Amino acid sequence: MQLEEYRKYDATGLSELVTKGEVKPDELLDTALAAVDATNNKLNAVVAIFEDEARRFIDRDLGEGPFKGVPFLLKDLTAHYGGQPTGAGWPPRAAIKPGEDSELVRRFKKAGLVIFGKTAVPELAMDWTTRSRAHGVTNNPWDVTRTAGTSSGGTAAAVAAGVVPMGHGNDGGGSIRVPASVCACFGMKPSRGRNPVAPSGSTWQGMLVEHALTRSVRDSAILLDATAGTYRGQFFNSPAGGNFAAEVGRDPGRLRIAVSTRAPYGAATHADSIAAAAETIKLLESLGHICEPFDIELPEDGWSAFETFILAEYATDMRLEEAALGRKLTADDFPPMLWEMIEAGNQITAVDVNVAATRLHAVAAAVTATFDRYDVFLSPTLAQPPLRHEAFPDSTSMRLHYEFYLSWMPYTHIFNVNGSPAMSVPLVWNNEGLPIGVQFAAAPAAEGLLFRLASQLETARPWSDKRPPISIA
């Protein structure tokens, strides 16, 4: 298959070709590898290739899943592929090779996906753009001088450029939705506990969730059907879902939609982000929906509680890394700012964490109460358009690092806190030709409603024909 033809299909379309016998999985893998060769020197999105393992999977284990034979990339964070390092952009991790797949990867494989490589992430996912000492900087296919987002930026860049029709991502504060916004992908963050959290347990107490970045809405829905379901290794499991694929194309009805362009905790919102929300309101109203201004009133200490909680989680993660490495970690193992964050986390007591969790419950209550009055909440995905690489400071204090977070991506984390599904939809491009994502959220476990709405928007304003300057076709 030539790159030009490959680029025309989403994952569902490619799988249909395999099922009909019109193309073989090995041919699709050849094409995907050629797509990496054609783009990666400009994007730096793919950081590991294991072609031999992918071909062994095709020969020995490929079943009849909904994505039979479709090439797929795994984000180089949390989800383990047995025998391959999960590097997280961190040099000490390079030598650690998990002995078996994590549960999510097993479900990806059962769905028929041919995993052949890993995508770039920020170092230990502690930075707000995709860069690391291990792999350098990942570029945005719409403008290589700009960020691909955090922390699924490598996956987003690869999907947007056509390397794969969809790829793995995860989201603890916006890391599916942010790169989806800046790279013009469809990015659905499922409800807390909907997918198994890799490799086990409830990472960040369920605030970090696993799924994918896709080009089409149906691919996201079908993949969620294939991977969702309770997992005995975690505390948080969502209620059993419906058939998400069946929601695609269904009429969402006349929705009452809350709209806010006031960023949580006071960040200024760029005119382009406000304009994207306004343009989306016009589209929604033309489809019969009711849009009303509404700002969620959050507890004043909600952000400090989130920061405390995440710093403690970072320190916990590093305690577990010490056990895996068999040695103590020191400042020499980290960039200075990351070490400052870890040291700060080590000073937080168990009582501090529990107090922070109590305050986060208050945030969750305020966010979830929105859906007593409205079906959907709409906001910009980001407070700013895709930023240039130099906007992200190479070295700064922890305090300035978190202030930068709020100036860049203040709209996303609240839906990790309350567990709602939320999605970034690529509906708007600014005058510079850069994508400006729009975020929609719904009540916990209401992914079906969001898929119905996303499908309606995809039909009303298709985005699949838009190509970035760095693309395979």
- Residue 354 burial (10 A CB sphere; 0-12, 13-18, 19+): exposed
| Given the residues 15, 132, 175, 424, the one annotated as active site | 175
Which CATH number is 3-460's, of 3.90.1300.10, 3.30.530.20, 3.30.565.10, 1.10.10.10?
Answer: 3.90.1300.10
| Given the residues 75, 109, 118, 189, the one annotated as active site | 75
Res 457: pLDDT: 98
Task: State how far the alpha carbon of 249 is from the alpha carbons of 29, 65, 174, 347, 453, in Å.
Answer: 30, 22, 26, 51, 9
Instruction: Confirm if 397 and 340 have CB atoms less than 8 A apart.
Output: yes
Task: State how far the alpha carbon of 121 is from the alpha carbons of 64, 246, 259, 271, in Å.
Answer: 31, 33, 31, 29
Q: Is 75 a catalytic residue?
A: yes
Q: Is 202 a catalytic residue?
A: no
Q: Provide Rg for the chain, Cα atoms.
A: 21
Residue of 186, 176, 173 whose CA lies nearest to 409: 173
Instruction: Confirm if 176 and 188 have CB atoms less than 8 A apart.
Output: yes
Taking the chain (473 residues) in runs of 10, the rounded mean pLDDT of each run is 97 98 98 98 98 98 96 96 96 92 96 98 97 98 98 98 98 98 98 87 86 98 96 86 92 98 96 98 98 98 96 94 95 96 97 97 98 98 98 92 96 98 98 98 97 98 97 96
Instruction: Confirm if 49 and 33 have CB atoms less than 8 A apart.
Output: yes
Residues 6+ apart with CB under 8 A from 131: 89, 122, 123, 137, 138, 389, 392
Q: Is 151 a catalytic residue?
A: yes
Res 200: pLDDT: 67
Domain boundaries, the chain: 3-460
**Residue 65 CB-half CA count within 13 A:** 25
Residues 6+ apart with CB under 8 A from 66: 12, 15, 111, 112, 222, 223, 225, 226
Res 395: pLDDT: 87
Q: Return the sign of the alpha-carbon dihedral for residues 247, 249, 254, 257.
A: positive
Res 422: pLDDT: 99
What strands, in cross-sheet order, belong to the sheet with 71-75? Answer: 46-49, 114-119, 71-75, 166-171, 209-214, 186-189, 422-429, 435-441, 376-380, 256-259, 290-293
| Given the residues 102, 132, 151, 273, the one annotated as active site | 151
d(CA 335, CA 357): 28
